[in-house]
Amino acid sequence: MLSDKGSVVISKYGILNTNIPEGHPFHGIPFPGDYLIGVDAKVRDKQFLPDYQTRPSSSQILLKNFAASAGGPAIAITADDLRATITLSSDQAVAGEQLGIAAELVISSGWHIYGRPLPDNYVATSINFDRDLVTAESFDFPKATPVEFKSLGETLPVYSGSIRAPGTVQLKMGLKPGSYIIKGTLHFQQCNDQICKLPQKIAFEIPVTIDPMVGAAK
């Protein structure tokens, strides 16, 4: 912890949190940020967020960079020729915390699912969460491979084999301590060179425990 009276150093570095107005008790603090530094002293990852109340958790950083969670739950989904595993970085959090999430999809040989951008008559692969506990989610899906389908006269972005998409979920502020279920839906459409199956929506649930906020030491 460094003392920076008047936020002089913070301002020189250009990280003064301008979202907090003058007169607010927290005016003068910087934008929250995290760096992940490797054993070779190189920066491997960095994250800066606009709100002091929204911070990446250590479990989120581990899941994103090392495909390892801190004991978080993993939910398996099987649907026809697709298997998916949705992993939350931790099964415990506090209200308003941001957690890491990762989706691993395995598509059976001979089949593919779609990425973006995509015409309206196809369904792109996506994951969405109900808004009762989650205010926002994001997934970093890999770039899909353009494939020419001569029988359709189209070139479409597809995924085949296996893919991994790390991301984040933002929990709501004000959640009371206790056990909760985060509900989500996986959207996709499976096709091969001859046929396309109907688009599917597969619902899933991930348990999470909201811990009480730890008060300041007196």
pLDDT at 32: 79
- Provide the pLDDT for residue 65: 67
CA dihedral (193, 198, 201, 202) positive or negative: negative
Respond yes or no on whether the N-terminal peptide bond of residue 117 is cis (omega within 30° of 0): yes
Categorize the per-residue pLDDT at 18 as very low, low, confident or very high, splitting at 50, 70 and 90. confident
- Range picked from 3-7, 16-20, 173-177 for highest mean pLDDT: 173-177
Mean pLDDT of 75-101: 90
Q: Are 138 and 167 in contact (CB under 8 A)?
A: yes
Q: Which residues neighbour 139 within 8 Å (Cβ) at sequence distance 6 or greater? A: 101, 103, 126, 127, 165, 166, 167
CA dihedral of 43, 47, 52, 55, whole degrees rounded to 10: -100
**Predicted confidence (pLDDT) per residue in 147-168, tens digit:** 998 877 889 999 999 999 998 9
Q: Is the pLDDT of residue 66 over 80?
A: no
Q: Which two tokens stand for residue 64?
A: 């994103």
Predicted confidence at residue 216, as pLDDT, reads 42
pLDDT tier for residue 64 given thresholds of 50, 70 and 90: low
Domains, the chain, with CATH or none? 8-52 (no CATH), 53-211 (2.60.40.10)
Top pLDDT among 80 and 158 is at 158
Q: How far apart are CA 217 and CA 194, in angstroms?
A: 65
118-150 pLDDT per residue, tens? 998 899 999 999 999 999 999 999 999 999 988
Return d(Cα 55, Cα 78) in angstroms, integer: 33
Tell me if residue 76 falls in helix, strand or coil: strand
Q: Which of 9-13, 84-88, 133-137, 159-163 has the lowest mean pLDDT?
A: 9-13
Geometric angle at alpha carbon 189, from 75 and 113, rounded to 5°? 80
